[in-house]
Copies of this chain bind each other. A is one copy, B any other.
Amino acid sequence: MVRDTQIARFPSLPLDSGVTLANVDVAYETYGELNAQRNNAILIGHAFSGDAHAAGHGKDDGAPGWWDSMIGPGKAFDTDRYFVFCTNVLGGCRGSTGPGSINPETDRPYGMSFPVVTIGDMVRLQKKLVDHLGIERLLAVAGGSMGAMQALEWAVSYPDSLACAIPIAGTARHSAQQIAFNEVGRQAIMADPDWNQGNYYGKTRPARGMSVARMVGHITYMSDESMREKFGRRLRDQDQFEVESYLRYRGSQFVDRFDANSYLYITKAMDYFDLTSGRGTLARAFEQVKSRFLVISFTSDWLYPSYQSVEVVRALRSRNCDVAYCELPSNYGHDAFLVEVGEQTELVRGFLASTHRGRK
């Protein structure tokens, strides 16, 4: 399954900040076919550093999508039955409009003049694409980590536009610890002189800051156990532990595929995300929700611990929403949503099938 990323452009997008963004691109990929009733469409939301290339093999480099183990013929998101698509988020750097895009007013990259974006804004842009594709009501919105935030935001903001939401390893709002880890990454980037207040396009990129930021990220994505199993205290050479060289390698790689300003904007969007904001309680946020929910978390995920999923489930139940919750056993930490394919597949496949049957 070879897939190429497509771009849709919209003349304007109103943002939560009050600013209206002009000429907004959204990059997306599609897998499978939209049926005649247009009721088999599933939107996948990516995690912080993901992109629209969720499945199949990239047209240029042949690289598999970030959730290729879950999306495809006969897989959890079965492309023989469903029309699956994934967008790069607003503020991103993989085709959708973000701080690295050209500001039509100045003909130069936005940099830090890019407006603040929220998870709500990201979802608003996705909704434009859904309308553009002629889909009135999605079968599902699903995703892990920041993708889970998007699924929850969809259910709250567009209750009539989806039949079910599948938030995996996510939360309705970041804890102080999650904000703190993101802030370390931001400070590492902004401490790099090459960041230059965000004006590094066409110049040297803030590679050292990005590398440190990514190293912190990787530690939080794994678990104490999975790091022990993968690296232990093994030395790579005389005075360097394997875990050190692995993290440095992953950090340096990241610089080539991600934009530092997108790092700043997207992590801020995650930190600001708070479904209780302006509503008092999470239960009240779910007052108008009409979709079904499948909520999944993982035992060893200490970045998005199960209690955050339980908080969502409890609020949904208090509003009599149709919600299934599963905490899956895993040693892989937050990465589990990308790695633990077997049990996730069973859960997702059954949940999607019963939701789809209910719509026929």
Each complex incorporates copies of this chain amounting to 2
What is the size category of the interface that chain A forms with chain B?
35 or more
A181: B residues at CB distance < 8 A: 219
CB contact list, A175-233 vs B, under 8 A:
175-177, 179-181, 183-184, 187-188, 191-193, 208-209, 211-212, 215-216, 218-219, 222, 224, 227-228, 230-233
Closest Cβ of chain B to A286, distance in Å, is 19
Q: Decide if A112 is an interface residue (CB 8 Å cutoff).
A: no
- Interchain CB contact under 8 A, B176 and A215: no
Q: Decide if A244 is an interface residue (CB 8 Å cutoff).
A: yes
- Interchain CB contact under 8 A, B212 and A247: no
- Interchain CB contact under 8 A, B183 and A208: no
Indicate with 1 or 0, residue by residue over A253-281, a CB within 8 angstroms of chain B CB atoms.
Answer: 00000000000000000010010000000
Q: How far is the CA of A292 from the CA of B32 in the complex (A)?
A: 68
A10: B residues at CB distance < 8 A: none
- Interchain CB contact under 8 A, A179 and B241: yes
Q: How far is the CA of A222 from the CA of B274 in the complex (A)?
A: 23
CB contact list, A87-130 vs B, under 8 A:
116
**13 A-B pairs with C-beta separation under 8 A:** A116-B239, A173-B233, A175-B224, A176-B231, A177-B224, A179-B243, A179-B244, A183-B247, A187-B211, A188-B188, A191-B191, A233-B274, A241-B271
Given A183-B244, A302-B302, 7 more pairs with CB closer than 8 A: A174-B233, A176-B228, A177-B227, A180-B219, A180-B227, A183-B215, A184-B216
